[in-house]
């Protein structure tokens, strides 16, 4: 399973990249705003800076909601760097734009997906990635992981190549469960990845090893 980090924070992206397990980055307008990145030029420059930090795919979301606007904005984003994946909302115009970009060989990530039907449409439109939001489904007392399972079944039935990018991952167990179910990619905060490191027996075992070494080497 690929690990993407879901942030626009350059320090966190660098920390994840330095760990050696990062496969890409996803952003969205809320994450850009959180970092104080505003204005078209600053936003484009920030995407360029992210691409310089990592080697994998970098999802950059369009703001336009109409087909023509998405195409114009998406083409400008894709021209920044071959790593850029144009992130498009799951709307009627978004599906049309996804098909357009897919035919042009531009990578896409269809976002804000909350049902199997939406994921099926995205795959038929040739999406590179589809982003079901598992945490936000959990927030409304729905089983987000179940959606990943159902999309996996449908995609496998028809050998769709669209990669299931489990988004809105909030914690370490989301990552582990996505891996069990067969999500192709997960995107989450740095804390969710670092959480995978933790086990109390690792900590106590290491403390014991170091204490025994110290006793024998006084
Ligand atoms: O980037 C899309 C998604 O991962 C957002 O996550 O935590 O805001 O629901 P969250």
Q: Please write the tens of the pLDDT for every residue from 145-170.
A: 999 999 999 999 999 999 999 999 99
| Model pLDDT for residues 60-71, shown as the tens digit of each residue | 999 999 999 999
Residue with the smallest CA separation from ligand 1 atom 4 is 168
pLDDT at 82: 97
Q: Whose CA is nearest to atom 5 of ligand 1?
A: 168
> pTM surpassing 0.85?
yes
pLDDT at residue 133 is higher than 90? yes
Work out the pLDDT band at 218, boundaries 50, 70, 90.
confident
Give residues (CB < 6 A) around ligand 1: 6, 26, 28, 133, 135-136, 167-168, 170, 187
105 alpha carbon to ligand 1 midpoint, in Å? Answer: 26
The answer to whether the CB of 64 falls within 8 A of the CB of 72 is yes
Task: Flag whether pLDDT at 33 surpasses 90.
Answer: yes
Å from CA of 167 to ligand 1 middle: 6
């Amino acid at each position: 399973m690929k690990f993407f980090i879901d942030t626009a924070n350059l320090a966190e992206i660098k920390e994840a990249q330095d760990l050696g397990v990062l496969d890409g980055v996803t952003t969205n307008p809320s994450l850009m705003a959180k970092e104080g990145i505003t204005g078209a030029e600053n936003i484009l420059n920030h995407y360029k800076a992210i691409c310089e930090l990592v080697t994998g795919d970098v999802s950059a979301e369009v703001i336009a909601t109409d087909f023509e606007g998405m195409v114009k904005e998406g083409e400008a984003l894709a021209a920044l760097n071959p790593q850029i994946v144009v992130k498009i909302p799951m709307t009627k115009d978004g599906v049309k734009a996804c098909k357009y970009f897919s035919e042009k060989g531009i990578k896409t990530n269809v976002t804000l997906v909350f049902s199997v039907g939406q994921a099926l449409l995205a795959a038929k439109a040739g999406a590179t990635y589809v982003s079901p939001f598992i945490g936000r489904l959990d927030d409304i007392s729905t089983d987000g992981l179940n959606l990943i399972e159902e999309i996996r079944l449908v995609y496998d039935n028809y050998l769709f190549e669209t990669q299931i990018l489990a988004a809105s991952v909030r914690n370490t167990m989301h990552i582990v469960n996505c891996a069990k179910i067969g999500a192709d990619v997960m995107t989450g905060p740095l804390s969710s990845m670092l959480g995978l490191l933790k086990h109390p027996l690792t900590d106590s075992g290491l403390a014991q090893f170091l204490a025994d070494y110290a006793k024998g080497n006084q």
